[in-house]
Amino acid sequence: MCLGIPGQIVAITDASRGLATVDVAGVKREISVAFVRNADEAVEQLIGAWVLVHVGFAMSRIDEDEAAETLKILSELGEVAQETEAMRASGRA
């Protein structure tokens, strides 16, 4: 359920209504950033931020560190798998 796509905020179109332009792989659309702006920061601070877009609303700011962390775990798994594979191969030899 709930199709959500990562996109990058590239412009603010209406600060008072919290509307911004999001770019998804070169396709642009106006969305609301009402759910991801901090009350104490100017909405322009969001320019450049990656967000998850669902039905025309940014619903979450993408945590780039978390994303990197997940990929790191997956890479390490890959290395472990390769080593196990190598060990198996050398054990057989």
Partner 1 sequence: MRFVDEFRDADKAKALLAEIGTVAAKAADRMGRPANIMEVCGGHTHSIFRYGIGDLLPKSIELVHGPGCPVCVLPMGRVDDCVAIAEQPGVIFATFGDAMRVPGSKKSLLQAKAEGSDIRMVYSPLDALALARANPDREVVFFGLGFETTMPSTAMTVLQAAADGTKNFSLICNHITIIPTMKAILDDPGLQLDGFLGPGHVTMVIGLEPYEFIGATYNKPVVIAGFEPLDVLQSVWMVMQQLSQGRAVIENQYGRIVPKGGNPVARDAITRVFELRDFFEWRGLGSIEHSGVKMRAAYAQFDAERRFSVPDVKVADPEACQCGDVLKGIIKPRQCRVFGTACTPETPLGALMVSSEGACAAYYQYGPRAGDEPEKANAA
Partner 2 sequence: MSLSGDKSAPTTRRKRDAIHLQRVTLAHGGGGKAMRDLVDDVFVSVFDNPDLAPLEDQARFALSALATHGDRLAFTSDSFVVDPLEFPGGDIGKLAICGTVNDLAVGGAKPLYLSCSVIIEEGTELALLRRVAASMARTAAEAGVKVVTGDTKVVTRGACDKLFINTAGIGVIRTGLDLGCHRAEPGDLVIVNGLLGDHGAAILGARGDLALSSPIESDCAPLNGLIDGLIAACPETKFLRDATRGGVATVVNEIAEASQVGIELIDDATPIREEVRGFCEILGLDPLYLANEGRIVAVVPAAAGERALAALKSHRYGQGAVVIGQVTRGPPGRVTMQTRFGGKRVVDMLIGEQLPRIC
* Positions that interact with partner 1 (CB under 8 A): 1-6, 8, 17, 24-25, 29, 31-32, 34-36, 50, 52, 54-57, 59-60, 62-64, 66-67, 69-71, 73-75, 77-82, 84-85
For residues 8 and 41, what is the distance between their CA atoms, to the nearest angstrom? 18
Cα-based distances in Å from 7 to 11, 31, 72, 84: 12, 11, 22, 38
Which one of 26-34, 58-66, 69-77, 83-91 is the stretch in contact with partner 2 (CB under 8 A)?
26-34
C-beta closer to partner 1: residue 39 or 93: 39
Q: Is 63 helix (H, G, I), strand (E, B) or coil?
A: coil
